[in-house]
Amino acid sequence: MTKVSVIIPCFNAEDFVADAIDSALGQTIADVEVVVVDDASTDGSRAIISAKADQDSRVVPVFLERNVGPAAARNVAWTRLTGTWVTLLDADDLYLPDRLERLISFAEAQNADVVADNLSIRHFGDDTHLGAAFPHVAHGEIIQVDRAFFFKNLWNGPQKYGMGILKPMFRAKFIRENSISYDERYRIGEDMLFYMNSILSNAKYYIIGDCFYIYRKRADSISNVGDHVFTTLASMCEEVLLNDKRLTIEDREYLTKRGRGLLEYFHWRQLRSLRRRGDKLGFISYVIKRPSTLFYMVKMSLTWRMKRG
């Protein structure tokens, strides 16, 4: 089988990084290297990673002396890895045992550049499958991702996951030939930009609807850091719109709409917070400055009531 490199960025993950490493090592294919980049953890993560590397030569430990964030940690991993295929595993997540075998078999049969599976959502510490993270590709379904699909599903609205939640496997040669890397200015949303750059570089990209990746939800995860995630993602969309000449007119329309949707949702959350705190003056002031937010709030309320029946 072709060699696969698994990147595991780690920061203060002593409670679960060993399980992630074991999950990557325990695959049904043996030709795997696990590049674990510790981003200057202050807990016992380094000792755990070192012990795993001593036990299995397939573990490649990288210890950073200062905290640089997940994007930079991923870029460092790309300078160390040697696999033909490369995929990601967050330090608090897991793989099903045959994930890599399934993905690489499909990718090589289709001559793909990128292939992603769906993610099984579970609460941390509970093995119950709560649902698939990306509902736009059903179990057993396979789709080829074009630009329209990618940008339409960049963000799918409140309490829904978009393209950035996926953890694809990439052909290393494609990524290197197109000089794709993570934008180190961002500590959240960096995956979305990386994937976007891949699709704008005309990657042959597939999504398999089956869930081979276990996404474990934690309240303190970096992807649950608060409302500023929405403004950050909207800023990313705006920057791509301003600077990326590869965008078509259709791409721009979709990306503009997604950016506006993210900002609308952010302002709705601010307005909702003011209402819940009973800050009438703040609520009125916010509505005067952004009257469209009140209309968005009414629309959201009606939508949720209809869903509840």
SS3 content of the chain, % helix, strand, coil (to 5): 45, 20, 35
pLDDT reported for residue 79 = 97
* Residue-wise pLDDT tens digits, 210-244: 999 999 987 655 444 567 888 899 999 999 999 99
* Banded pLDDT at 50 (limits 50, 70, 90): very high
User: Which token pair is 98?
Assistant: 């045959």
pLDDT reported for residue 307 = 63
The amino acid at 188: I
* Banded pLDDT at 124 (limits 50, 70, 90): confident
* Residue-wise pLDDT tens digits, 145-199: 999 999 999 887 766 788 989 999 999 999 999 999 999 999 888 999 999 999 9
* Residue-wise pLDDT tens digits, 130-152: 889 998 899 999 999 999 999 99
pLDDT reported for residue 40 = 97
Q: Report the chain's mean pLDDT, rounded to a whole number.
A: 91
* Banded pLDDT at 309 (limits 50, 70, 90): low
Angle at 173 (CA atoms; ends 36, 22), nearest 5 degrees: 25
Say what percent of the chain tops pLDDT 90: 70
* Cross-strand bridge partners of residue 205: 114, 145
What pTM did the predictor assign?
0.90
DSSP H helical segments within 17-164, as ranges?
17-25, 45-55, 70-80, 99-110, 147-152
DSSP class per residue in 39-76 = -S-SSSHHHHHHHHHHH-TTEEEEE-SS---HHHHHHH
pLDDT reported for residue 159 = 60
